[in-house]
Amino acid sequence: MNTLLLLSESTFYLILAAGGFVLISLLFYMVPLGLWFSAQFSGVRISLLQLIAMRIRKVPPAIIVNAMINSTKAGLKITRDELEAHFLAGGHVQKVISALISADKANIPLDFKAATAIDLAGRDVFQAVQMSVQPRVIDTPPVAAVAKDGIQLVAKARVTVRANIKQLVGGAGEETILARVGEGIVTSIGSAVSHKQVLENPDSISKLVLGKGLDSGTAFEILSIDIADVDVGKNIGAELQMAQANADKNIAQAKAEERRSLAIALEQENKAKAQESRAKVIEAEAQIPMAIAEAFRSGQLGIMDYYKMQNVQADTDMRNKIAGSGNQKPNGNTTKE
Protein backbone atom coordinates (compact mmCIF):
# COMPACT_ATOMS: atom_id res chain seq x y z
CA MET A 1 0.00 0.00 0.00
CA ASN A 2 2.80 2.39 0.89
CA THR A 3 4.59 1.39 -2.30
CA LEU A 4 1.54 2.23 -4.41
CA LEU A 5 1.19 5.55 -2.62
CA LEU A 6 4.82 6.38 -3.27
CA LEU A 7 4.43 5.46 -6.96
CA SER A 8 1.35 7.63 -7.34
CA GLU A 9 3.06 10.56 -5.67
CA SER A 10 6.17 10.20 -7.90
CA THR A 11 3.96 10.00 -11.00
CA PHE A 12 2.12 13.12 -9.93
CA TYR A 13 5.36 15.02 -9.45
CA LEU A 14 6.63 13.85 -12.83
CA ILE A 15 3.45 15.04 -14.50
CA LEU A 16 3.66 18.30 -12.62
CA ALA A 17 7.30 18.78 -13.65
CA ALA A 18 6.51 17.99 -17.31
CA GLY A 19 3.61 20.43 -17.29
CA GLY A 20 5.80 23.10 -15.75
CA PHE A 21 8.47 22.52 -18.35
CA VAL A 22 5.90 22.82 -21.14
CA LEU A 23 4.52 26.01 -19.65
CA ILE A 24 8.00 27.51 -19.27
CA SER A 25 8.91 26.54 -22.86
CA LEU A 26 5.65 28.02 -24.15
CA LEU A 27 6.31 31.16 -22.13
CA PHE A 28 9.82 31.56 -23.52
CA TYR A 29 8.47 30.88 -27.02
CA MET A 30 5.76 33.48 -26.73
CA VAL A 31 8.05 35.93 -24.89
CA PRO A 32 11.48 35.87 -26.63
CA LEU A 33 13.49 37.43 -23.82
CA GLY A 34 16.78 36.81 -25.61
CA LEU A 35 15.69 38.87 -28.61
CA TRP A 36 14.34 41.56 -26.32
CA PHE A 37 17.67 41.87 -24.47
CA SER A 38 19.59 41.93 -27.78
CA ALA A 39 17.32 44.69 -29.09
CA GLN A 40 17.66 46.75 -25.92
CA PHE A 41 21.44 46.54 -25.90
CA SER A 42 21.54 47.43 -29.63
CA GLY A 43 19.52 50.59 -29.20
CA VAL A 44 16.30 49.21 -30.70
CA ARG A 45 13.25 50.18 -28.70
CA ILE A 46 10.74 47.35 -28.81
CA SER A 47 8.52 45.99 -26.03
CA LEU A 48 7.75 42.43 -24.98
CA LEU A 49 4.10 42.96 -25.91
CA GLN A 50 5.11 43.82 -29.47
CA LEU A 51 7.19 40.62 -29.66
CA ILE A 52 4.24 38.60 -28.37
CA ALA A 53 1.97 40.31 -30.91
CA MET A 54 4.39 39.24 -33.66
CA ARG A 55 4.01 35.63 -32.55
CA ILE A 56 0.26 35.97 -32.69
CA ARG A 57 0.42 37.50 -36.20
CA LYS A 58 2.72 34.60 -37.24
CA VAL A 59 5.63 36.94 -37.90
CA PRO A 60 9.01 35.53 -36.79
CA PRO A 61 10.32 38.07 -34.24
CA ALA A 62 13.94 37.07 -34.91
CA ILE A 63 13.74 38.24 -38.55
CA ILE A 64 12.19 41.59 -37.65
CA VAL A 65 14.42 42.27 -34.64
CA ASN A 66 17.65 41.34 -36.44
CA ALA A 67 16.63 43.53 -39.41
CA MET A 68 15.91 46.44 -37.03
CA ILE A 69 19.27 45.95 -35.30
CA ASN A 70 21.15 45.94 -38.62
CA SER A 71 19.32 49.01 -39.93
CA THR A 72 19.82 50.90 -36.65
CA LYS A 73 23.54 50.17 -36.55
CA ALA A 74 23.79 51.32 -40.19
CA GLY A 75 22.01 54.59 -39.42
CA LEU A 76 18.82 53.77 -41.35
CA LYS A 77 15.43 54.77 -40.03
CA ILE A 78 13.07 51.88 -40.70
CA THR A 79 10.09 51.15 -38.49
CA ARG A 80 8.90 47.81 -37.20
CA ASP A 81 5.53 48.18 -38.94
CA GLU A 82 7.22 48.64 -42.34
CA LEU A 83 9.28 45.49 -41.86
CA GLU A 84 6.27 43.46 -40.71
CA ALA A 85 4.16 44.71 -43.62
CA HIS A 86 6.85 43.71 -46.11
CA PHE A 87 7.21 40.26 -44.53
CA LEU A 88 3.46 39.67 -44.57
CA ALA A 89 3.41 40.73 -48.24
CA GLY A 90 5.79 37.87 -49.01
CA GLY A 91 9.03 39.85 -49.25
CA HIS A 92 12.56 39.05 -48.10
CA VAL A 93 13.22 41.39 -45.20
CA GLN A 94 16.90 40.61 -44.73
CA LYS A 95 17.72 41.06 -48.45
CA VAL A 96 15.99 44.45 -48.44
CA ILE A 97 17.93 45.59 -45.37
CA SER A 98 21.24 44.34 -46.82
CA ALA A 99 20.49 46.13 -50.11
CA LEU A 100 19.65 49.39 -48.32
CA ILE A 101 22.86 49.23 -46.26
CA SER A 102 24.98 48.50 -49.37
CA ALA A 103 23.29 51.29 -51.34
CA ASP A 104 23.81 53.76 -48.49
CA LYS A 105 27.52 52.91 -48.22
CA ALA A 106 27.93 53.20 -52.01
CA ASN A 107 25.99 56.52 -52.21
CA ILE A 108 23.34 54.94 -54.43
CA PRO A 109 19.91 56.60 -54.05
CA LEU A 110 17.60 53.84 -52.82
CA ASP A 111 14.81 54.18 -50.27
CA PHE A 112 12.85 51.52 -48.43
CA LYS A 113 9.76 51.85 -50.64
CA ALA A 114 11.72 51.36 -53.86
CA ALA A 115 13.68 48.45 -52.39
CA THR A 116 10.54 46.64 -51.25
CA ALA A 117 8.90 47.24 -54.64
CA ILE A 118 11.90 45.68 -56.41
CA ASP A 119 11.87 42.74 -53.99
CA LEU A 120 8.14 42.11 -54.41
CA ALA A 121 8.56 42.32 -58.21
CA GLY A 122 10.62 39.12 -58.02
CA ARG A 123 14.09 40.58 -58.48
CA ASP A 124 17.00 40.14 -56.09
CA VAL A 125 17.38 43.69 -54.82
CA PHE A 126 20.64 42.96 -52.99
CA GLN A 127 22.19 41.48 -56.14
CA ALA A 128 20.95 44.48 -58.12
CA VAL A 129 22.71 46.86 -55.75
CA GLN A 130 25.89 44.81 -55.99
CA MET A 131 25.65 44.93 -59.80
CA SER A 132 25.29 48.70 -59.61
CA VAL A 133 28.52 48.88 -57.62
CA GLN A 134 30.39 46.22 -59.61
CA PRO A 135 29.30 45.96 -63.30
CA ARG A 136 28.68 42.56 -64.81
CA VAL A 137 30.06 41.18 -68.08
CA ILE A 138 27.65 39.20 -70.29
CA ASP A 139 29.03 37.04 -73.11
CA THR A 140 26.77 36.92 -76.15
CA PRO A 141 26.33 33.70 -78.13
CA PRO A 142 27.93 33.53 -81.60
CA VAL A 143 26.05 35.83 -83.99
CA ALA A 144 26.24 35.00 -87.72
CA ALA A 145 25.75 37.74 -90.32
CA VAL A 146 26.54 38.22 -94.01
CA ALA A 147 28.34 41.23 -95.50
CA LYS A 148 27.38 42.72 -98.85
CA ASP A 149 30.08 40.71 -100.64
CA GLY A 150 28.36 37.48 -99.60
CA ILE A 151 30.91 36.36 -96.96
CA GLN A 152 29.50 35.16 -93.64
CA LEU A 153 31.06 36.43 -90.41
CA VAL A 154 30.50 34.94 -86.94
CA ALA A 155 31.03 37.46 -84.15
CA LYS A 156 31.10 37.16 -80.36
CA ALA A 157 30.73 40.17 -78.08
CA ARG A 158 31.09 40.98 -74.41
CA VAL A 159 28.55 43.40 -72.98
CA THR A 160 29.41 45.22 -69.74
CA VAL A 161 26.24 46.25 -67.89
CA ARG A 162 25.25 47.54 -64.51
CA ALA A 163 21.85 47.53 -62.89
CA ASN A 164 19.61 50.54 -63.30
CA ILE A 165 17.86 50.81 -59.94
CA LYS A 166 15.17 53.15 -61.24
CA GLN A 167 14.06 50.72 -63.97
CA LEU A 168 14.34 47.41 -62.11
CA VAL A 169 10.57 47.36 -61.70
CA GLY A 170 9.06 46.73 -65.13
CA GLY A 171 12.38 46.80 -66.99
CA ALA A 172 13.43 44.08 -69.43
CA GLY A 173 16.07 41.53 -68.46
CA GLU A 174 19.31 40.14 -69.86
CA GLU A 175 17.55 38.27 -72.67
CA THR A 176 16.40 41.55 -74.18
CA ILE A 177 19.92 42.99 -73.96
CA LEU A 178 21.38 39.95 -75.73
CA ALA A 179 18.69 40.03 -78.43
CA ARG A 180 19.22 43.74 -79.14
CA VAL A 181 23.01 43.39 -79.23
CA GLY A 182 22.70 40.43 -81.63
CA GLU A 183 20.38 42.44 -83.86
CA GLY A 184 22.82 45.36 -83.85
CA ILE A 185 25.74 43.09 -84.81
CA VAL A 186 23.76 41.61 -87.71
CA THR A 187 22.82 45.10 -88.93
CA SER A 188 26.38 46.38 -88.64
CA ILE A 189 27.93 43.45 -90.53
CA GLY A 190 25.15 43.43 -93.12
CA SER A 191 25.72 47.10 -93.93
CA ALA A 192 29.47 46.58 -94.50
CA VAL A 193 30.53 46.61 -98.17
CA SER A 194 33.16 43.91 -97.65
CA HIS A 195 33.90 41.42 -94.90
CA LYS A 196 37.52 42.62 -94.97
CA GLN A 197 36.33 46.00 -93.78
CA VAL A 198 34.78 44.41 -90.70
CA LEU A 199 37.88 42.29 -90.01
CA GLU A 200 40.12 45.36 -90.25
CA ASN A 201 37.95 47.48 -87.91
CA PRO A 202 35.92 45.25 -85.57
CA ASP A 203 35.43 48.21 -83.22
CA SER A 204 33.13 49.73 -85.85
CA ILE A 205 30.56 47.10 -84.88
CA SER A 206 30.68 48.01 -81.19
CA LYS A 207 30.51 51.75 -81.94
CA LEU A 208 27.48 51.32 -84.19
CA VAL A 209 25.69 49.01 -81.77
CA LEU A 210 26.49 51.12 -78.71
CA GLY A 211 25.16 54.25 -80.39
CA LYS A 212 21.66 52.79 -80.82
CA GLY A 213 20.66 53.08 -77.17
CA LEU A 214 19.94 49.38 -76.72
CA ASP A 215 19.47 49.70 -72.95
CA SER A 216 16.31 51.82 -73.19
CA GLY A 217 13.42 50.19 -71.38
CA THR A 218 15.64 47.61 -69.71
CA ALA A 219 16.75 47.11 -66.12
CA PHE A 220 20.39 47.62 -67.08
CA GLU A 221 22.70 50.34 -68.33
CA ILE A 222 25.14 49.28 -71.03
CA LEU A 223 28.62 50.58 -70.29
CA SER A 224 30.52 49.05 -73.21
CA ILE A 225 30.22 46.49 -75.99
CA ASP A 226 33.50 44.81 -76.95
CA ILE A 227 33.91 42.45 -79.91
CA ALA A 228 35.75 39.43 -78.52
CA ASP A 229 36.12 37.39 -81.72
CA VAL A 230 35.23 37.54 -85.42
CA ASP A 231 35.50 34.38 -87.56
CA VAL A 232 34.99 34.01 -91.29
CA GLY A 233 32.22 31.56 -92.12
CA LYS A 234 30.80 30.32 -95.39
CA ASN A 235 30.66 32.08 -98.74
CA ILE A 236 26.91 32.51 -98.68
CA GLY A 237 26.89 34.60 -101.88
CA ALA A 238 28.64 31.88 -103.89
CA GLU A 239 26.36 29.21 -102.46
CA LEU A 240 23.31 31.24 -103.39
CA GLN A 241 24.62 31.77 -106.92
CA MET A 242 25.32 28.05 -107.28
CA ALA A 243 21.87 27.23 -106.01
CA GLN A 244 20.35 29.74 -108.46
CA ALA A 245 22.42 28.31 -111.32
CA ASN A 246 21.28 24.78 -110.48
CA ALA A 247 17.71 25.98 -110.32
CA ASP A 248 18.04 27.69 -113.73
CA LYS A 249 19.62 24.53 -115.18
CA ASN A 250 16.80 22.38 -113.86
CA ILE A 251 14.24 24.79 -115.30
CA ALA A 252 15.99 24.75 -118.70
CA GLN A 253 16.16 20.95 -118.65
CA ALA A 254 12.50 20.76 -117.79
CA LYS A 255 11.58 23.10 -120.64
CA ALA A 256 13.80 21.14 -123.07
CA GLU A 257 12.19 17.90 -121.97
CA GLU A 258 8.79 19.49 -122.47
CA ARG A 259 9.72 20.56 -126.01
CA ARG A 260 11.12 17.08 -126.76
CA SER A 261 7.94 15.46 -125.49
CA LEU A 262 5.86 17.80 -127.65
CA ALA A 263 8.03 16.98 -130.70
CA ILE A 264 7.67 13.24 -130.09
CA ALA A 265 3.94 13.63 -129.67
CA LEU A 266 3.74 15.65 -132.90
CA GLU A 267 5.80 13.02 -134.74
CA GLN A 268 3.55 10.26 -133.54
CA GLU A 269 0.54 12.32 -134.55
CA ASN A 270 1.98 12.83 -138.06
CA LYS A 271 2.71 9.12 -138.34
CA ALA A 272 -0.87 8.39 -137.40
CA LYS A 273 -2.10 10.85 -140.04
CA ALA A 274 0.20 9.23 -142.65
CA GLN A 275 -1.16 5.79 -141.81
CA GLU A 276 -4.67 7.17 -142.05
CA SER A 277 -3.90 8.68 -145.49
CA ARG A 278 -2.26 5.42 -146.61
CA ALA A 279 -5.36 3.54 -145.54
CA LYS A 280 -7.50 5.89 -147.61
CA VAL A 281 -5.23 5.32 -150.65
CA ILE A 282 -5.43 1.56 -150.23
CA GLU A 283 -9.19 1.86 -149.92
CA ALA A 284 -9.32 3.92 -153.13
CA GLU A 285 -7.07 1.46 -154.98
CA ALA A 286 -9.31 -1.39 -153.89
CA GLN A 287 -12.23 0.31 -155.64
CA ILE A 288 -10.40 0.37 -159.03
CA PRO A 289 -11.09 -3.31 -159.94
CA MET A 290 -14.72 -2.82 -158.96
CA ALA A 291 -14.94 0.25 -161.21
CA ILE A 292 -13.36 -1.70 -164.10
CA ALA A 293 -15.82 -4.55 -163.62
CA GLU A 294 -18.70 -2.10 -163.60
CA ALA A 295 -17.34 -0.51 -166.78
CA PHE A 296 -17.27 -3.98 -168.46
CA ARG A 297 -20.84 -4.66 -167.44
CA SER A 298 -22.09 -1.29 -168.65
CA GLY A 299 -20.20 -1.59 -171.97
CA GLN A 300 -18.15 1.53 -171.36
CA LEU A 301 -14.88 -0.46 -171.44
CA GLY A 302 -13.91 -3.10 -174.01
CA ILE A 303 -11.46 -5.90 -173.77
CA MET A 304 -8.99 -4.20 -176.09
CA ASP A 305 -9.10 -1.08 -174.01
CA TYR A 306 -8.36 -3.16 -170.91
CA TYR A 307 -5.35 -4.79 -172.61
CA LYS A 308 -4.02 -1.40 -173.71
CA MET A 309 -4.30 -0.22 -170.13
CA GLN A 310 -2.39 -3.30 -168.94
CA ASN A 311 0.35 -2.67 -171.53
CA VAL A 312 0.66 0.95 -170.42
CA GLN A 313 0.94 -0.13 -166.81
CA ALA A 314 3.57 -2.74 -167.66
CA ASP A 315 5.60 -0.16 -169.62
CA THR A 316 5.39 2.20 -166.67
CA ASP A 317 6.63 -0.46 -164.26
CA MET A 318 9.50 -1.29 -166.60
CA ARG A 319 10.54 2.36 -166.88
CA ASN A 320 10.45 2.70 -163.09
CA LYS A 321 12.69 -0.34 -162.70
CA ILE A 322 15.09 0.94 -165.35
CA ALA A 323 15.20 4.32 -163.69
CA GLY A 324 15.88 2.68 -160.34
CA SER A 325 18.75 0.53 -161.65
CA GLY A 326 20.84 3.65 -162.36
CA ASN A 327 21.16 4.40 -158.62
CA GLN A 328 22.96 1.16 -157.78
CA LYS A 329 25.62 1.32 -155.07
CA PRO A 330 28.94 -0.50 -155.31
CA ASN A 331 27.62 -3.31 -153.12
CA GLY A 332 24.80 -3.94 -155.63
CA ASN A 333 21.97 -2.38 -153.59
CA THR A 334 19.62 0.04 -155.26
CA THR A 335 17.91 3.05 -153.84
CA LYS A 336 14.76 4.74 -155.01
CA GLU A 337 14.46 8.45 -155.05
Range 202-222 average pLDDT:
79
Residue spans per domain, the chain: 16-133, 136-238, 240-303, 304-337
Distance CA 99, CA 92 (A): 11
Range 238-265 average pLDDT:
89
Interval 324-334: pLDDT, tens: 754 544 444 44
Closest to 54 measured CA to CA, from 96, 22, 93: 93
Q: What is the DSSP string of 179-205?
A: HHHHHHHHHHHHT-S-HHHHHH-THHH
Q: What is the DSSP string of 100-161?
A: HHHHHHTT----HHHHHHHHHTT--HHHHHHHHHS-EEEEPPPEEEE-TTSEEEEEEEEEEE
Query: What is the distance between the terminal CA atoms of the chain, rounded to a whole angstrom?
Result: 156
Instruction: Provide the b/e sequence for 103-126 (b: ≥16 CB within 10 Å).
Output: bbeeebebebebbbbbbbeebbbb
Range 298-312 average pLDDT:
78
Per-residue confidence (pLDDT) for residue 57, from 0 to 100:
79
Q: CATH assignment of 136-238?
A: 3.30.479.30
Range 173-193 average pLDDT:
85
Interval 55-114: pLDDT, tens: 777 878 888 888 888 888 888 888 888 888 888 888 888 888 888 888 888 888 888 888
Instruction: Provide the b/e sequence for 232-243 (b: ≥16 CB within 10 Å).
Output: eeebbeeeeeee
Per-residue confidence (pLDDT) for residue 337, from 0 to 100:
38
Per-residue confidence (pLDDT) for residue 290, from 0 to 100:
81
Instruction: Provide the b/e sequence for 197-214 (b: ≥16 CB within 10 Å).
Output: ebeeebebbbebbbeeeb
Distance CA 165, CA 182 (A): 25
Do strands 220-235 and 143-146 pair parallel, antiparallel, or not at all (unpaired)? unpaired
Interval 27-65: pLDDT, tens: 555 556 677 777 777 777 877 777 777 877 787 888 888
Distance CA 260, CA 258 (A): 5
Backbone phi, psi, residue 141, to 5°: -70, 165
Place 251 in a pLDDT band, splitting at 50, 70 and 90.
very high
Place 254 in a pLDDT band, splitting at 50, 70 and 90.
very high
306 SS3 class? helix
Distance CA 135, CA 223 (A): 8
pTM greater than 0.85 (yes/no):
no
For the chain, what percent of residues have pLDDT higher than 70?
Answer: 86
Contact 116, 97 (CB under 8 A): no
Higher confidence at residue 185 or residue 169?
Answer: 185
